Amino acid sequence: MKNKWIFVFEIVLLVLIVTGIASPANTIGLPTLSTPSTQQSFVQSPSDQEPPSLASPISPTTPNYILSPNAIECGVIPTDGCFITQSTTFTTGNYFFPSGISILADNIILNCNNAVLRGNATKIWISGTTRLQEIGIFVNGTNVTIRNCELNNYSEGITPMKSGVTITNNRFVDNFGGIMAFAPNTSVIWNNFSNSSYYALLISQNGTTIIQNNKVLSGGGFFLGSTNILYVQNNSFENGFPDLYSLYLNLRNGISTQIIIANNFMRNNSFDLRVFNDVSYDNGDYFNRSSLKIYNNTVIGKGIALNKVQNAEIINNSIINASPTNSISLSSSKYILIKNNYINSPFSEWGITAGIPYGWNNHHITIINNFITGAQEAAILLTGDNNNITGNTIISNGEVGIWLNNQNTNFTVSNNYLVNNSRAVLVDISSFGENIADDGNHNGVIYNNTAINSSICGFWLRQNSTNNVVEKNTAYKGYIGICLEYNPDGNTIIRNNLTSNSYSGLHFSSSLNNKVFLNNIYGNPRYQVDAPSAIELSYLGIGNYWGRTTPPCFVAGTDSNRIDVIDSNPFCGSLPNSSIIIPFNNFGWYFFGSNIIPINTTTSKILSPIAGSYEVIQSYIGGVNRQYKPTNPPFLNTLTNMYPWDGYWLKFTSSSLKELIIVGDKVTGCNPLTLGITPVNQHWIGYWVNQTQPTASALSSIAGNYELVRTYENGVWKTYNPALPQFSDLLEMKPGQAYLVKMINQDNLDYLCG
């Protein structure tokens, strides 16, 4: 249970945030993000380094403050309850001022000269009785500087009520709060020290704030509300009180425009850094007009948390020994970049979490090039859509390296290096005891990852995981390479390397309706593949390589655990180097090409994956129309071979999806194709390049010599006219399509050599 003073503090924080004054923000330059030097003392002479200068801010309304009728001007030797209306330097001393002092004019510099101002509030709030509003220094003036003061035993050490306040080189010891700022505009908090306060700094304002080079020891940290421009840099927070934060930002109503949290040090605190937007996620009115950058911070403790935040970057932070929850956690957030962080968290459950068990609806999260080790449950736990996990190094986490857990759609997991995790990548559903539908994980890509020494499984797809592509991954020296369990259906398992795993390369439980082809599965000592019932391990006549150089290329019952677990179309020696998949979604005409030189160029062989689902295929080659119709006698079929140079016009007769897979070698080098002036002056050409290009760039080798280009895609004709590009709708050329070209003069088309 929280200490009841935590609840008192939270009520105070809420009141401050709700009543924060909004004013137009002043614009200032970004302070230098230099590495903080070791701070031996935060009380320095007036000749020491000054904080950044500020533009003249706008004055807010005067607060309701009642001055004692016996108050006098403070002078160089202040008295209890005195006020300041002119710049003043105190005589060094130890002053017992339960009533504090007040600054009641603009353009004031107060130099306490290392004097100690001591109040009488500490015993009151520790004892649990009603806390008195004892303020050490009350500021009711603009453009005020307070330096070299020590404030002890106050409810609040310094309370600025107006704008343009600079607080530098002060000490706050045994106060309930260090600084409570209501000012609606610019302020600088610079090089102060706070010890044993429930909060070092509380700000609720709409303006520009610089908080830099402060040290917080044994107490609460910074609690910051609605601020337009905020820099929190080079501060340190250590040994905080239970249940309090090092740094807490409440981005109420999304008014913040630029926030930088950089080069801070946090150690041994109950909670470290949390950014929370206190609005409803569903209505879309959350931190969406802002940029939040959190970088180069060192956190030895509880990590970084974002709640309902948009447009944020978490970069180059070091998070060590997070316990017991998360190193970085996101809840109901989107457009977040998490990059180049070092996370070593042997006491935490999760390394990076974006979703359950702490929240849903995380979208467009990019997690890239992080190093994560030591998490007990998962290095990365993610739920949401359009998320990307790329290029991370994930080593020696207890259970899972990357866990995609429910409601992940259109995700990408690529180029990650995962070592010594029980499961390198797990695609699964779990509600963690919450009443949440198990919606599964769909339409994702798991590509080119490396999993080593996975003690259970390298890549594991479980229930309700459908229509995902698992491609070009490597799993070796683990227990099983790829596992499909509890009916994940419609997934494509292609071009993976599953070798030297102690049990099997590929494991099926009850999931049999997946596409498995063009994988290297060999060197797994017990089985290459195991399944509970009969299964065919080739797709559309394309099989896998099982490590055999001569026929039989696959031996059922030896390479598999059952004689009815078979590959009817295996490869011997090695796999074809490349392949392309061309989908036919419904009956109608298709204009397609290929960027593959097939192993077997015979038309009937190439089209065998869609046999029975097409009526005729035609091409226009060398000025002659050629066709192949499977119901014709062979002598009537003039299109006997297919190559990537030509385009093909095919009538598809099925109402269900079919895929044409062409395997062979990619086209490389120079391959000039002569396009002349023919009687009908048209050429049906393929597109044998690997990547999409703008139409004008792709046809640059024949620029000036062609008049028109057309293609037929998704039931629509598209045209490119080089003389009228602004009226053209064929803007790019891409693999899998064919094109009709009308020439003005003969020329040689060469996509690769120009």
Write out pLDDT tens, residues 21-33: 232 232 222 222 2
Mean pLDDT: which of 12-26, 263-277, 326-340, 562-576 is highest?
562-576
Cα(743)–Cα(750) distance, integer angstroms = 15
Q: Could you tell me the two tokens for 308?
A: 């309902």
Let me know: does 688 contact 595? Beta carbons within 8 Å: yes
> 76: which residues sit within 8 A by CB, 6+ positions away?
88, 89, 90, 91
pLDDT-based confidence at 686, cuts 50/70/90?
Answer: very high
3 state SS for 518-529: CCEEECCCCEEE
H-helix or E-strand containing 124?
A: helix 122-127
Closest to 411 in 3D by CA, of 344, 477, 341, 470: 470
DSSP-derived 3-state class of residue 608: helix
Write out pLDDT tens, residues 70-86: 789 999 999 999 999 99
What pLDDT is stored for residue 374 in this prediction?
A: 85
Closest to 162 in 3D by CA, of 108, 216, 122, 230: 108
Flag whether pLDDT at 510 surpasses 50: yes
Q: Could you tell me the two tokens for 82?
A: 């005195």
What pLDDT is stored for residue 184 in this prediction?
A: 62
Mean of pLDDT over the chain = 83
What pLDDT is stored for residue 128 in this prediction?
A: 40
Helix, strand, coil percentages (3-state) for the chain, rounded to 5, are 5, 45, 50
Read off the pLDDT of each residue in 114-134 and give the average, rounded to a whole number: 64
Alpha helix segments (H runs only) across 504-571: none
What pLDDT is stored for residue 68 in this prediction?
A: 66
What pLDDT is stored for residue 353 in this prediction?
A: 79
Q: Which residue has the higher pLDDT, 669 or 641?
A: 641
Q: Which residue has the higher pLDDT, 429 or 668?
A: 668
Let me know: does 470 contact 446? Beta carbons within 8 Å: yes
> What one-letter code names the amino acid at 531?
A
Cα–chain-centroid distance for residue 638?
54
Q: Which residue has the higher pLDDT, 45 or 329?
A: 329
What pLDDT is stored for residue 129 in this prediction?
A: 38
Flag whether pLDDT at 352 surpasses 70: yes
User: Which residue is associated with the tokens 């005067």?
Assistant: 62
What pLDDT is stored for residue 246 in this prediction?
A: 87
Interior/surface letters 320-330, b for 16+ CB within 10 angstroms, e for the rest: bbbeebbbbbb
Q: Are strands 706-713 and 739-743 parallel, antiparallel or unpaired?
A: antiparallel
Q: Which residue has the higher pLDDT, 271 or 294?
A: 294
Flag whether pLDDT at 732 surpasses 50: yes
Beta bridge partners of 545: 520, 571
Beta bridge partners of 749: 673
pLDDT-based confidence at 739, cuts 50/70/90?
Answer: very high
Alpha helix segments (H runs only) across 316-372: none
Let me know: does 250 contact 222? Beta carbons within 8 Å: no
Cα(620)–Cα(683) distance, integer angstroms = 7
Tell me how many degrees the CA angle 320-416-513 measures, rounded to the nearest 5.
125
Q: Could you tell me the two tokens for 172?
A: 């706050």
Q: Are strands 527-530 and 504-508 parallel, antiparallel or unpaired?
A: parallel
Q: Is the peptide bond before 324 cis (omega within 30 degrees of 0)?
A: yes
Cα(509)–Cα(713) distance, integer angstroms = 39
Of 118-127, 257-266, 289-298, the range with the lowest mean pLDDT is 118-127
Q: What are φ and ψ of residue 603, in 5° steps? A: -60, -45
Of 63-67, 415-419, 655-659, the range with the lowest mean pLDDT is 63-67
Cα(228)–Cα(591) distance, integer angstroms = 55
Cα(499)–Cα(520) distance, integer angstroms = 8
pLDDT-based confidence at 49, cuts 50/70/90?
Answer: very low
User: Which residue is associated with the tokens 């806390």?
Assistant: 131
Beta bridge partners of 151: 117, 172
What pLDDT is stored for residue 23 in this prediction?
A: 29
Cα(139)–Cα(503) distance, integer angstroms = 73
| DSSP codes joined into one string, 160-200 | E-SSSEEEES-EEES-SEEEEE--SS-EEEES-EEES-SEE
List, in sequence order, every beta strand (DSSP E) within 677-721: 683-685, 693-694, 706-713, 716-720
Q: Are strands 648-652 and 614-621 parallel, antiparallel or unpaired?
A: antiparallel
Read off the pLDDT of each residue in 284-301 and give the average, rounded to a whole number: 75
pLDDT-based confidence at 67, cuts 50/70/90?
Answer: low
> What one-letter code names the amino acid at 739?
Y
Beta bridge partners of 588: 652
Count, residues in the chain: 754
Flag whether pLDDT at 34 surpasses 90: no
Cα(574)–Cα(507) distance, integer angstroms = 22
3 state SS for 445-493: EEECCEEECCCCEEEEECCCEECCEEECCEEECCCEEEEECCCCCCCEE
Cα–chain-centroid distance for residue 63?
44
pLDDT-based confidence at 198, cuts 50/70/90?
Answer: confident
Return the C-alpha torsion angle 570, 574, 578, 582, nearest 10. 0
Write out pLDDT tens, residues 416-457: 999 999 999 998 865 443 434 445 678 889 999 999 999 999
H-helix or E-strand containing 229?
A: strand 229-233
What pLDDT is stored for residue 569 in this prediction?
A: 95
Flag whether pLDDT at 509 surpasses 50: yes
User: Which residue is associated with the tokens 């610019």?
Assistant: 186
Let me know: does 232 contact 260? Beta carbons within 8 Å: yes
Q: What is the pTM assigned to this prediction?
A: 0.84
Q: Could you tell me the two tokens for 44?
A: 């320095």
pLDDT-based confidence at 754, cuts 50/70/90?
Answer: low
Cα(681)–Cα(667) distance, integer angstroms = 26
Cα(396)–Cα(527) distance, integer angstroms = 26
pLDDT-based confidence at 568, cuts 50/70/90?
Answer: very high
* Percent of the chain surpassing pLDDT 90: 57
